[in-house]
A and B are shown apart, each in its own frame.
Chain A
Amino acid sequence: MIRFENVGLRYGSGPEVLRDVNFEMESGSFHFLTGPSGAGKTSLLRLLFLAMSPTRGLITLFGHDITVLKRYRLAELRRRIGVVFQDFRLLDHLSTFDNVALPLRVNGQRPEHYHDNVMELLNWVGLAERATAYPPVLSGGEKQRAAIARAVVAKPELLLADEPTGNVDPSLARRLLRLFAELNRFGTTVVIATHDPVLMADLDVPALKLENGKMSRIG
């Protein structure tokens, strides 16, 4: 499903933040992506959710070489990817419900079709009572849960999460991890970027470690 071959990335004329990254992920796999702050985890995720193109190398996603992908095909691929951003990227003018439902709306679904589904998901992540609240009045943990709900609501084939449990208490972190694991059990490929060893200890899955832009495999 995902294949990186000698991928390098630099911002402008700065140093390479990713150097000769090589790895392959099978469909339905679960991986942690770890490494110290500034190691390039977020940059790698940005490449995976098609927000950037690599400076060099080859990235294959769902069988497509993303470096030569036509612009109009991007939306089609992105709909197969769910992303939890480290900074949440919720839209402040939309309620929690509408933020979570955004991928479904973009996909052309009507509110009467997705309403119950979204409410069930909000219920599960503990945000049902906050469905009509707007992001500026949500706590950090609530925003994070809303961001996770938005990422998984369309049942993506690939789920990318950047520090998804960074702002929640340990019990909710475990519940969210279970959600990711369950989605994975139903076939979603999951990549979670984290530097939380406790979280990684909860699941016996392989981890990719990034350090100084170079990647190594753990487990």
Chain B
Amino acid sequence: MNGIVHQNRAGSGWPNTAGAPRLQVGSYRRSPPIIPQKAVTNRTLALAVALMCFLACIALAGVLIVTRAVHVWNLDIAGEVSVQIQPVENHDMERQLADAVGVLKATKGVSTVRVFDRDETIALLKPWIGEGIELDQLPIPRLIAVGIDTDHPPDLSVLAKRLETGIAGATLDTHRQWQAQLAHTADTLLIIGYGAVALIALSAMVMITFATKAAIEANRDVVEVLHLVGARDRFIALQIQWHFFKLGLRAGLAGTFAGILVTAFIGLIGQEAVTGGGSRFLAFAPTGLTMKSWLVFLLVPAAVTFISLVTPRFTVMRILDTRSIDRS
């Protein structure tokens, strides 16, 4: 036996024998995955993840549109208040209106003052009262639309007090109650929207956990061999999570792209069907979304990719640690 080992050409130190054929050593190539992609993920799972991302996009679109609509409405509401003058016995309505206009014009932060004349006021009331009732003979309240400089708004509580104490029958309507109700409704819708997104994310995590467990079972022999040649649990986890990472990224992008397309498409339909300035934001109107809002959609594939990276790792580590696959 002595002398049959010597350092060979490659310096590997393997025994050299006269009878062994010599091989032209070729160039190395990229190593194939130790656990094949097909044995871990499949098209059905990819489709399910893409569908989840699509649904998340739709839910997110709802959240963004509601947020945007509330923002625009709040701006509209904050930009205008109204003064209502009730008819008071022994008081001249026109005089009351002129006094109110005087107070308003003298207030800093009031940008415009517009008195609705009697005909306009009757026109506003008619839809509520209906035809056939003669309003000309009735005392009706009058309105003053007051534009507010939103950058330097007046102290509305002080203004209200001055109007109410100085002018008989005058009240200032700041729409705060309406604003509060709107905010409450919007908050509820946002909770529902974010809840839906969270549930979709949770479903994706559960789905990937089950898929990871199935992958471990299907590759039990491979995992055992890997352990026996000295692989650490985190090395095995990496082999599996890499496949899920790729699936999450691809399916996430595909689902999000589909979600954005559908959101934009519904938005186009919505714009045609709904008229009116601020109110169109309540419909699916993507033109109402800012560029920043559109970029938020990119969080969906980012989140699903993260879930696809982290969930399999935790699952594999937990299975290998608790089940002790190779020391049964």
Contact = CB atoms under 8 A, between A and B. Distances in A.
B229 interface: yes
Chain A interface main SS type: helix
Contact of B221 (A89, A121, A123): A89
Given A94-B32, A117-B10, A107 B16 contact: no
Interface string B28-46: 1111101010010000000
Nearest to A95: B32
A181 B1 contact: yes
A93 B226 CA distance: 14
B321 to A, nearest CB: 7
Contacts of A111: 28-31
Given A53-B327, A94-B34, A182 B5 contact: yes
Contacts, number: 124
Interface in B304-328: 321, 324, 326-328
Interface string A121-132: 111101011010
Nearest to B229: A103
Contacts of A53: 327
Contacts of B157: none
Contacts of A218: none
Given A75-B230, A103-B229, A116 B32 contact: no
B17 A124 contact: yes
B4 A75 contact: no
B253 to A, nearest CB: 28
B23 A119 contact: yes
B90 interface: no
A72 B228 CA distance: 13
A184 to B, nearest CB: 9
A121 B16 CA distance: 9
B32 A98 contact: yes
Contacts of A98: 31-32
A76 to B, nearest CB: 8
Nearest to A106: B231
Contact of B230 (A52, A79, A121): A79
Nearest to A127: B23
B225 interface: yes
A5 interface: no
A186 B5 CA distance: 10
The number of chain A residues touching the other chain, given as a range, is 35 or more
Most chain A Cβ neighbours within 10 Å, of B1, B17, B39, B228: B228
A63 to B, nearest CB: 18
B227 interface: yes
A10 interface: no
A105 interface: yes
Contact of A51 (B14, B16, B327): B327
Contact of B28 (A83, A102, A115): A115
B232 interface: yes
Contacts of A101: 31
A113 to B, nearest CB: 9
A154 B25 CA distance: 19
Given A75-B227, A78-B230, A98-B31, A116 B12 contact: yes
A95 B36 CA distance: 12
A217 interface: no
Nearest to B321: A71
A129 B230 contact: no
Contacts of A72: 232-233
Contacts of A116: 10, 12, 25
Contacts of B130: none
30 contacts: A52-B327, A52-B328, A71-B324, A72-B232, A75-B231, A78-B227, A83-B228, A83-B229, A89-B224, A91-B34, A102-B34, A103-B229, A106-B229, A111-B28, A111-B29, A112-B28, A115-B28, A116-B10, A117-B12, A119-B23, A120-B8, A120-B9, A122-B23, A123-B20, A123-B23, A126-B21, A131-B23, A175-B17, A185-B1, A186-B13
Q: 10 tightest A-B contacts by CB?
A: A79-B230, A128-B23, A115-B28, A116-B10, A117-B12, A78-B230, A123-B23, A111-B28, A106-B231, A103-B229
